[in-house]
Amino acid sequence: MGTLLIILNYMNKVLLRLPLIICLCLGLVIGLIWGKAIVRDQTDLKQEMDKVTTRQFNMLDALIYAARADGPITPNKYAAIMNLFQRVGYSELVLSRIKHALDTLSDQPMDIHAIIQQYKSVSNKQQCSLLFQCLLFVDSADGQLSPEDKNVLQVIYNELGLGQ
DSSP state, residue 143:
S
Predicted confidence (pLDDT) at residue 8 exceeds the cutoff of 50 = no
Q: Chain-wide mean pLDDT for the chain?
A: 77
Whole-angstrom distance, CA of residue 47 vs CA of residue 31: 24
Please state the rounded mean pLDDT for residues 102-121.
Answer: 87
pLDDT tens digit sequence for 145-154: 899 999 999 9
Q: What are the φ and ψ backbone dihedral angles of 106, each rounded to 5 degrees?
A: -65, -20
Whole-angstrom distance, CA of residue 137 vs CA of residue 61: 15
pLDDT tens digit sequence for 37-54: 555 555 665 666 566 577
Q: What's the chain's length in residues? A: 164
Whole-angstrom distance, CA of residue 162 vs CA of residue 150: 15
> pLDDT class for 109, splitting at 50, 70, 90?
confident
Neighbours of 152 (CB within 10 A): 22
